[in-house]
Every structure is written in structure tokens, then in C-alpha cells.
């Protein structure tokens, strides 16, 4: 169901992206994108508690203590309600400060209205977020995925109707806010249905538990801050150094990479409860074995997706957005390499969190964010959009390839040299495969959507067969077959 959820999101996104850019224009769409980036930063207000409640929900459910479960949820809802109130204050500040950075008066006024509407929407989502985290802690990812699919479909339908009728960004913001909130409320109802006896009350609020949340969450906050800087920096750098309208062109590449990374996250984040369980039992051998198997699968999956984007990316952009947006291809290819390297190490984050070693992950994220910010600004001045992409790649290579594996291998007491050797073998196989396809010029035939889909499917099938037959480990094969057999 999680796979279906991300596929639906990607499928709708492929339609919505060109529809919105061509309907709104580069400048209006770029403003909409900047608003999204700002609101995305509101997630920092949870100061890392979002990561903490996932762990504490899982712990209280594991020990099967109804009182502990209700205390965990009640404490979380109280804290996140306060965070929602705080976000309203941030919204008021943005309304007054934001226009000073926008030269166009009309756009500045539109900015104020949009940030007010969507800021209120975001404030209301904070306490409701707790219920979706609780559903995930019960390993009911199917329910949250179904809820996510329904939300995406409804939101997209409203956007299409509003924009097609010729309404502006204000109507668009109102429509998005009104259509999303009911689904969040449904999430709360589902939580009560799947866990009889679940209740929320002020009496169940535990200051001592809140203190634990904050203590555990401090490193999560540092990680979230670093990730937010890393993810939002591109829009701010492009708007400040290049031009506001250039955001829409870079977003073409950024959106494809976002779907790439979202797919990897949705597929492989399901290992978090298993990692938590192994660590709770102090079964470090099983934890290490599970980590290595899932990391192998994540690496091969990321190599397939990155190779496909590089091989067929220019053809897809031409068909999808038109030749005017082909300047996004080189940034896309560079970002695909960065996303591949990062996604190959995707499972290290839930591993370190499960082992309560998230302070190391926080440090790595801070280093990556600082390197990206500095290198992207410098390179953007000289090389424009390509420089922004290269800055991202440089930060990933340093942190995800040279630092993160060292930390993880030390914690699991596995050989770093062997880890690198196996990783290099996987990358070599994929590079040879895609270079061969490039030399055969099969992408030249992808001049229609039908041909592109057919060639992509054949490429993926051939890649999967080769990996499964010749390079995939016995343990990973067993896991794949067990999943297929369910």
C-alpha cells in the first residue's frame, strides 16, 4: 500500500507540475513554491519531538500498557497543540516581514494572504499529526497510505478545478486548506478505531514524559534543522542569486528527485519498527544482519532509479514540460547522482535512531547542510542552476560516503573496508549496465510517452533480472521472495 501511495503521488504530480507552471506562469508558480518552502520550515517548531513520539509510541505499545499508551498520546497532543499555537505567531511575523524581501507590490500582498491561510492550516495539523504517528507505530502503514492517497487525489482535483476556472493563488490556498483538514480528522478517528481504549485527557499528560520527549528530541531537532536548511536552501539561493522565476526551472529537476527520494523513504522506512524491536531485545546480531540486507536492496533500488533518470531524463523533460525546460536536465543528472548516494545509505538514519545514537546522525546532517549551503552559494554565482546542483552533490559525497558509513560500521562492529568493498561492487555493476545502454543509444527511441514507458520498463526488468541472478546476496533474495510470497 505504501508503494501504491507513492506511485499515485508521483503519477498525479507528473500531471500537476506542468499544469500549474503553464497555467500560473513562472513567477506565480515560483511564489507558490516559495510559500511551500517557508511552510515546510514550520516542521522545525516541533524541535525534534516528532521523531521522539514515534519511538515512545512504539515502546508503550510493545510493553502492552494501556495507561502508558494513553499518556504517550495525551502528552504528545498537548505538546503539539502548543506548537500549533506557536506556529500562528510565526505566521504573523512572516506576514509583516516577508513583503520586505519582495520587490513586486502585488506579489508581496499575495504573499501575505497566502501565508495567512496556509499558516492557519499548518497550525491545525500539528496536534492531528500525532494520530498518524500512532497509526504508524502500530505498523498500520496501509491505513496511513490509504489516507495519503485519498488526500492527494482530493487536493489535486480541487487544484485543477480552481485553476481551470481562472481563479488566483488566494482561491487555490483556500481550496487546499479546506480539502486537507477533513482527512487529518479522519486519521484521528482511525486511530481510535484500531486501538480500543485509546483516550486523550489533560489528566493523562505527564510532565516527566514530556521531559523525556524533549531530551530525546533535541538531537532530532538538530537533524530536522539541518535537513530543512538542506532542502529549502535551493529555492532561497536561486531567488537571491539568480532570479525568482528560475525556481520553476530548477523545480522541474527538484520534483523528480523529490519523488525519487520519497519513493525510497516510503519503501525503506518500514524497517524502523524492526530496528527498534531488535534493539529493545538487545539482539545486535540480528540488527546488523537486517541492516546489511535492507541496505543492499536500497542501494540497488537507488541505482536503478538514478540510472533511469540520467538515461531518459532529457527525453522525459522534453515530453513532460517542453523544450524550454531542458536547462533542468544537467541539474537533474547531478542531483540524481547525489540522491543515489544518499538513498543507498537511507537505512542508516532509522538504525541510529533505534540505537539512540541519533546525536551522530544529527552531527552528520549539520555537516551536510553547512557544506551544501556554502558550496551552493559560491557555485551558483559562477555556474547558476548547475552550481546549485553541484553544491548538493559535494555535500552528499563528503557526508554520506565518507562519514556516515564509518559511524554506522563502528556502532554495529562490522568491517568498514568490507562495507566499502561491497558498496563499490554494486555501484560498478550498475554503472557498467547503464553505460552499455547509453552506448547503444536506446534513449534515442524514447520520443513518445509510449516508447519512453516501454523502454524504461524493459530497462528496469533487465536490470532487476541481472541483479537478482548474479549479484544479490542469498539473504536479500530470501527477503525479497518472502515479501513477494505474502
154-178 pLDDT per residue, tens: 999 999 999 999 888 999 999 999 9
In a domain, 383, yes or no: yes
The answer to whether residues 198 and 220 belong to one domain is no
Cell numbers at 116, concatenated: 495567512
Q: 205, 226, 261 — which closes off a domain?
A: 205
In a domain, 181, yes or no: yes
Cell numbers at 226, concatenated: 539541518
Number of domains within the chain: 2
The answer to whether residues 222 and 122 belong to one domain is no
Which residue has cell 480541487?
Answer: 158
Which residue has cell 513554491?
Answer: 33
pLDDT less than 70: residues of the chain: 1-3, 44-56, 58-59, 61-64, 215-221, 483-486
The answer to whether residues 440 and 304 belong to one domain is yes
The answer to whether residues 125 and 247 belong to one domain is no
The answer to whether residues 73 and 122 belong to one domain is yes
Residue 95: give the domain boundaries.
1-205
Q: What pLDDT is attached to residue 171?
A: 94
Q: 141, 173, 205 — which closes off a domain?
A: 205
In a domain, 83, yes or no: yes
The answer to whether residues 152 and 29 belong to one domain is yes
Q: What pLDDT is attached to residue 385?
A: 93
In a domain, 113, yes or no: yes
Q: What pLDDT is attached to residue 56?
A: 67
Give φ, ψ of 370 to 5 degrees: -70, -40
In a domain, 210, yes or no: no
Residue 485 and residue 483: Cα distance in Å, rounded? 5
Q: 184, 205, 226 — which closes off a domain?
A: 205
Cell numbers at 324, concatenated: 524550454
Q: The pTM is what?
A: 0.77
Q: What pLDDT is attached to residue 10?
A: 80
Q: What pLDDT is attached to residue 276?
A: 76
In a domain, 97, yes or no: yes
The answer to whether residues 168 and 291 belong to one domain is no
Tell which residue, 112, 118, 89, 374, has the closest CA to residue 230.
374
The answer to whether residues 334 and 389 belong to one domain is yes
The answer to whether residues 100 and 198 belong to one domain is yes
Give φ, ψ of 47 to 5 degrees: 40, 40
Residue 114 and residue 98: Cα distance in Å, rounded? 11
Q: How far is CA 153 from CA 171, 189, 237, in A?
A: 18, 20, 32
Dihedral sign from CA coordinates of 337, 363, 226, 217: positive
Residue 23 and residue 162: Cα distance in Å, rounded? 11
Residue 115 and residue 119: Cα distance in Å, rounded? 5
The answer to whether residues 184 and 259 belong to one domain is no
The answer to whether residues 325 and 359 belong to one domain is yes
The interaxial angle of helices 284-320 and 2-24, nearest 10 deg, is 30
The answer to whether residues 196 and 233 belong to one domain is no
Residue 299 and residue 309: Cα distance in Å, rounded? 15
Q: What is the CA radius of gyration of the chain?
A: 23
Q: What pLDDT is attached to residue 119?
A: 92
Amino acid at each position: 500500500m505504501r508503494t501504491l501511495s507513492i506511485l499515485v503521488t508521483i503519477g498525479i504530480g507528473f500531471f500537476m507540475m506542468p499544469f500549474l507552471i503553464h497555467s500560473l506562469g513562472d513567477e506565480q508558480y515560483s511564489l507558490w513554491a516559495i510559500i511551500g518552502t517557508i511552510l515546510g520550515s514550520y516542521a522545525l517548531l516541533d524541535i525534534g519531538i516528532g521523531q521522539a513520539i514515534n519511538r515512545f509510541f512504539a515502546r508503550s505499545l510493545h510493553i502492552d500498557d494501556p495507561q502508558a499508551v494513553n499518556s504517550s498520546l495525551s502528552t504528545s497532543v498537548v505538546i503539539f497543540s502548543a506548537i500549533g499555537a506557536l506556529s500562528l505567531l510565526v505566521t504573523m511575523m512572516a506576514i509583516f516581514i516577508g513583503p520586505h524581501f519582495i520587490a513586486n507590490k502585488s506579489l508581496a500582498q499575495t504573499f501575505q494572504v497566502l501565508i495567512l491561510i496556509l499558516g492557519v492550516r499548518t497550525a491545525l495539523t500539528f496536534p492531528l499529526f500525532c494520530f498518524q504517528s500512532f497509526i504508524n507505530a502500530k505498523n498500520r502503514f496501509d491505513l496511513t497510505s490509504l489516507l495519503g492517497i485519498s488526500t492527494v487525489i482530493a487536493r489535486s482535483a480541487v487544484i485543477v478545478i480552481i485553476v481551470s476556472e481562472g481563479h488566483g493563488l488566494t482561491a487555490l490556498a483556500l481550496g487546499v486548506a479546506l480539502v486537507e483538514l477533513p482527512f487529518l480528522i479522519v486519521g484521528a478517528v482511525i486511530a481510535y478505531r484500531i486501538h480500543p481504549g485509546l483516550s486523550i485527557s489533560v489528566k493523562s499528560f505527564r510532565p516527566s514524559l514530556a521531559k523525556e520527549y524533549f531530551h530525546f528530541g533535541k538531537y532530532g531537532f538538530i537533524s530536522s534543522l539541518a535537513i530543512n536548511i538542506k532542502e529549502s536552501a535551493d529555492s532561497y539561493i536561486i531567488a537571491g542569486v539568480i532570479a525568482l522565476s528560475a525556481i520553476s526551472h530548477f523545480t522541474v529537476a527538484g520534483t523528480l528527485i523529490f519523488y525519487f527520494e520519497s519513493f525510497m523513504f516510503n519503501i525503506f522506512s518500514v524497517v524502523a519498527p524492526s530496528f527498534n524491536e531488535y534493539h529493545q531485545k538487545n539482539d545486535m546480531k540480528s540488527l546488523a544482519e537486517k541492516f546489511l540486507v535492507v541496505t543492499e536492496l536500497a542501494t540497488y533500488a537507488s541505482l536503478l532509479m538514478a540510472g533511469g533518470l540520467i538515461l531518459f531524463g532529457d527525453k522525459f523533460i522534453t515530453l513532460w514540460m517542453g523544450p524550454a525546460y531542458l536547462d533542468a536536465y544537467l541539474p537533474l543528472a547531478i542531483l540524481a547522482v547525489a540522491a543515489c548516494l544518499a538513498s543507498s545509505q537511507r537505512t542508516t538514519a532509522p538504525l541510529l535512531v533505534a540505537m539512540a545514537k541519533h546525536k551522530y546522525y544529527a552531527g552528520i546532517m549539520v555537516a551536510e547542510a553547512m557544506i551544501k549551503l556554502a558550496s551552493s552559494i559560491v557555485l551558483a554565482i559562477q555556474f547558476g542552476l548547475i552550481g546549485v546542483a553541484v553544491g548538493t552533490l559535494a555535500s552528499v559525497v563528503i557526508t554520506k560516503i565518507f562519514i556516515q558509513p564509518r559511524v554506522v560500521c563502528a556502532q554495529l562492529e562490522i568491517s568498514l573496508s568490507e562495507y566499502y568493498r561491497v558498496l563499490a561492487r554494486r555501484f560498478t555493476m550498475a554503472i557498467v549496465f547503464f553505460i552499455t545502454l547509453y552506448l547503444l543509444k536506446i534513449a534515442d527511441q524514447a520520443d513518445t510517452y509510449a516508447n519512453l514507458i516501454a523502454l524504461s520498463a524493459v530497462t528496469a526488468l533487465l536490470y532487476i533480472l541481472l541483479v537478482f541472478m548474479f549479484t544479490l546476496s542469498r539473504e536479500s533474495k530470501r527477503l525479497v521472495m518472502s515479501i513477494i510470497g505474502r
